Each structure stands twice: as C-alpha cells, then as structure tokens.
Amino acid sequence: MDIRQSGTERTQQTFEQKQRALIDQNRALVRAARERLATVSPREQDSIEIGSEEARELDERRTHRDEIALSAAARAASEPSQAEREARVRELAEAHRMERLHTPERLERAAQRLLEG
C-alpha cells in the first residue's frame, strides 16, 4: 500500500468519524428539544404561538418599511430630459463621424460580448 494512499484513507476515516459525531450531537439536541416541548404547559404553548405571530407581523412591517415608492416627479427627475438625450446623440454622432469611437479597448470589449453570447 502506498504511503499517500494510507494517509488519504486515514484522512477520510477521520472526516467520517467527525461527521458521525456531529450527526449524533445534532440528534441529541433534537431529542432534548422535543422533550422540552413535550413538558411545556398549554399556557406556555399559547405564549410561544403568540410570540411567533408577533414575529411574523414584525417581519411583515419591516418588509413594507424597506420599500421606497417614487413619485412620478421623482422618476421623471432621475431620467434624462429629451434635450439631454438629443445632445448626447449629437455628441456620439460627431464622435462616430470623427472615428473616435473605435478605440482598441472598445473593439475588444465588443468582440468579447459577441463571443460570450
């Protein structure tokens, strides 16, 4: 048997032992949690259920609070105006006519986009 192979086997065995130990620990924790839940009185169960309902409501409120609704005026202000668009088109047309748009870097990026699909 090769030394490297036996080292690999030992590593595999150690890994599997650790995994089995973790699985056993998790099973013990689940058993303990089930036992604790079995001993909870009906009154305590009601408070647990109420707490989980409150948590759900709090999550829903947080979700709604995280949203931002933009007004039509705000959306219009974030977009370029028609005059700005026309000016940009004129600049690009002039750059194209003067052959300033076809730099090696831009050609390379375009070729990459075409090849990547």
**1 vs 105, higher pLDDT:** 105
Cα 84 → chain centroid? 36
| Any domain includes 8 | no
- The alpha carbon torsion through 104, 109, 111, 115 (nearest 10 deg) reads 160
Residues 84, 60 share a domain: no
- How confident is residue 21, by pLDDT bands cut at 50, 70 and 90? very high
**88 domain-assigned:** yes
Q: Is residue 6 part of a domain?
A: no
In a domain, 4, yes or no: no
First to last CA, the chain: 50
Residue showing tokens 């099973």: 27
**38-64: average pLDDT:** 67
Asked if 60 and 38 sit in the same domain, the reply is: yes
Per-chain mean pLDDT for the chain: 80
Domain assignment present for 10: no
58 and 21 in a single domain? The answer is: yes
Q: Is residue 21 part of a domain?
A: yes
**DSSP state letters, 79-115:** SPPHHHHHHHHHHHHHHHHTT-S--HHHHHHHHHHHH
How many domains does the chain contain in total?
Answer: 2
Percentage of the chain with pLDDT > 90? 16
Instruction: Note down the domain range covering 97.
Output: 73-116
Q: Do 58 and 80 have their domain in common?
A: no
| Residue 2, in any domain of the structure | no
Residue 20 has pLDDT above 90, yes or no: yes
Distances (CA, A) of 1 to 7, 9, 12, 46, 75: 10, 11, 16, 63, 72
